[in-house]
Amino acid sequence: MISPSATVRVVAVSLACSLGTTVYLFSQPPGGGRNSAPSIEEPFVGIATSKGTEKDLFKIKSTGVSTEPVRTAAKAFLEGLTDEQRGRTVFPVDDLEWRKWDNRHSPKRQGVGFHEMSESQRALAFAMLQQSLSAKGLKKTQDIMKLNGTLAELANNFKEYGEWLYWITVMGTPSEKEPWGWQLDGHHAVINYFVLGDQVVMSPVFMGSEPIEAKQGKFKGTIVMQDEQNKGLALIKMLTPEQQSQAIVMNKKDGNNNLTEAYKDNVVLDYAGIPASKLDAAQRQSLLVLIQEYVGNMREPHARIRMSEVEEQLDKTYFAWIGGTTEESVYYYRIHSPVILIEFDHQRRVAPFRTTEPARDHIHTVIRTPNGNDYGKDLLRQHYHSHPH
C-alpha cells in the first residue's frame, strides 16, 4: 500500500482494545509545508486497511438526481471572474491540486480568495455552494468562516485568520457528462466536491473551529460542531458496559487523535471498536443519525443516495472511542466502514493561546470515502477506462 521509498514516517500504534486492532499513522509532513508534503507526491491509493483496497464498491450509474443546478451555478461563478482570476482558479480535472488542501491557516492557497472577490463575485461563489450543500451545510460552512474572523479578533492577527481567507478552485469544466468539480480550501473548512453526470462525491470534507463559539465581537452568538459532539456522546452512552469495553479503545485522551487530515490520502487504517452488527436496533439508529449529521451537509437528494451506500455496509461499520464519556469530557470518535470514514476530535488549543491538553473549544472533523473514492477518483478511473483521454 505504501511505497517503501516514501519519506513519510509510518508509525504502528497498537490500540488497547479487545479486538487488538493495529492502526497505522502518518507523521506530519516535514516542515508542515503544503507543496512539499511527500504524501501527495505518492500515487493516490486512498484510505485502506492493512488487507488492501476493497474493489468494486463504487459504480458509475445514474442516480436520477440532477446536478444541473450545481453546474449552472459553477459556470456563473467562473463567468463572474476576471480573466486573470479565472486563469489561476481552473485546473484539469485530474490535477494534483485536489490533494493540496490544508485545514491549517499557514499554507499558500491556490485559486481565487473570498478576500479579493467583489460583492457580486462572493454572491456567485456562495450560490455555487448553496446549490451543492444543504441549508445546514451552507450555514455551517459560513459560520466556520465567521468564527475564523472571531479568531482573528481574539488573536489580533488578521493576516493569518479572517472570515474571508478562503479560496475556491474548479477542476475541469462544468459539464453534463464529463467529470469536473470544485474545492473550498481554508482554515477549518475544506470541501472537495466531484461531479460525474448526476453522481456526486463530496469528500474529503474537513470542518472544525477554534473557538467553537463567539462569545464576543462581530460574530457574537455564532456556534458550531455541537451536534457532531453531542450526538457522538449520546451514542457511546447508549452502549452497555460490555459494548463500551469494545468501543472504547483508550480511556484517556491527552493529545490530538485525528488520523486523516491534510496529506493523509493513503493512510492504512484498520477497523477498531465495536461493529454495528453488535448493536441493537435503537443503537444502530443512533449510529445512522450520527452519520447523517455529517452526510447531511450535502444537498438532501444526494445525501440520501450517500446514506443508502452507508446503510448497505452498516454491519461492516465500526464505532471507536478515545476519552471520557461525561458531559465535560474531551474525546475522539471514529466511524469506519468500507464506504465512509468519519473522525471527530477535541484538539489542543492553538490560538490565541496554546494548551497541552485537548479542549472542547477546538474541534476537528473529517469525512472521507475509503477504498479509493476520495475526490471521486475511483469513478474518474472508471470513466477514463471507458472513455480514454
Sequential DSSP letters for 363-374: EEEEEE-TTTTG
Rounded to a whole number of angstroms, the CA Rg of the chain reads 20
Model pLDDT for residues 93-139, shown as the tens digit of each residue: 999 999 999 999 887 899 999 999 999 999 999 999 999 999 999 99
Q: Which residue has the higher pLDDT, 107 or 269?
A: 269
Q: Of 214, 216, 190, nearest to 203 (Cα)?
A: 190
Per-residue confidence (pLDDT) for residue 26, from 0 to 100: 30
Model pLDDT for residues 191-237, shown as the tens digit of each residue: 999 999 999 999 999 999 999 999 999 999 999 999 999 999 999 99
Contact between 180 and 173 (Cβ < 8 Å): yes
Helix ranges restricted to H, the chain: 68-79, 83-87, 119-132, 135-155, 226-238, 241-247, 281-295, 300-312, 377-386
Per-residue confidence (pLDDT) for residue 179, from 0 to 100: 98
* Bridge partner residues of 296 (DSSP): none
C-alpha cell, 45 = 491509493
Reported as half-sphere exposure (CB side, CA atoms, 13 A), residue 144 has a value of: 26
**Rounded-to-integer distance, Cα 315 and Cα 204, Å:** 23
**Rounded-to-integer distance, Cα 161 and Cα 187, Å:** 8
Per-residue confidence (pLDDT) for residue 389, from 0 to 100: 64
| Bond before 275 cis per omega within 30 degrees | no
Q: Which residue has the higher pLDDT, 23 or 203?
A: 203
Model pLDDT for residues 46-95, shown as the tens digit of each residue: 999 999 999 999 999 999 999 999 999 999 999 999 999 999 999 999 99
Please say if the pLDDT value at position 310 is more than 70: yes
Q: Is 207 helix (H, G, I), strand (E, B) or coil?
A: strand
Q: Mean pLDDT in the chain?
A: 91
Per-residue confidence (pLDDT) for residue 41, from 0 to 100: 82
Q: With the CA atoms of 15, 17, 18 and 20 taken in that order, what torsion angle do they form, in degrees rounded to the nearest 10?
A: 0
Q: Of 287, 247, 300, nearest to 135 (Cα)?
A: 300
pTM score of the predicted model? 0.91
Share of the chain above pLDDT 70, in %: 90
Phi, psi (deg, nearest 5) at residue 312: -65, -30
Helix ranges restricted to H, 209-299: 226-238, 241-247, 281-295
State the average pLDDT over residues 328-334. Answer: 98
| Bond before 211 cis per omega within 30 degrees | yes
Reported as half-sphere exposure (CB side, CA atoms, 13 A), residue 298 has a value of: 26
C-alpha cell, 356 = 497541552
Q: Of 40, 69, 171, nearest to 111 (Cα)?
A: 171
DSSP character for 210?
Answer: S
Task: Tell me the torsion sign for CA atoms 58, 59, 64, 66.
Answer: positive
Per-residue confidence (pLDDT) for residue 388, from 0 to 100: 72
- 25-29, 204-208, 259-263: segment of lowest average pLDDT: 25-29
Please say if the pLDDT value at position 308 is more than 70: yes
Q: Is 73 helix (H, G, I), strand (E, B) or coil?
A: helix
Phi, psi (deg, nearest 5) at residue 372: 90, 10
Contact between 70 and 195 (Cβ < 8 Å): yes
Render the burial of 171-186: b for 16+ CB within 10 Å, e for the rest.
bbebbeeebbbbbbbb
Contact between 105 and 160 (Cβ < 8 Å): yes
**Rounded-to-integer distance, Cα 71 and Cα 89, Å:** 16
Q: Is 231 helix (H, G, I), strand (E, B) or coil?
A: helix
Which are the contacts of 66, defined by CB distance < 8 A and separation ≥ 6?
Answer: 198
